[in-house]
Amino acid sequence: MSDKVVHVSTADFQSTVLDSKEPVLVDFWAEWCGPCKMIAPALDELADAYEGRAKIAKINVDEQRELAVKYHVRSIPYLLVFKDGEKVGEQIGAVGKAQLAGMLDKALA
79 is an active site residue? no
**CA distances (Å), 46 to each of 16, 65, 89, in order?**
17, 26, 16
Please indicate whether residue 36 is annotated as part of the active site. Answer: yes
Catalytic residue among 36, 42, 57, 67: 36
Three-class DSSP category at 49: helix
Using alpha carbons, select from 45, 107, 108, 37 the residue that is nearest to residue 76: 37
CA distance 90 to 32: 22
Out of 5, 17, 26, 33, the active site residue is 33
The DSSP secondary-structure symbol of 76 reads: S
Coil, strand or helix at 41? helix
Catalytic positions are 33, 36
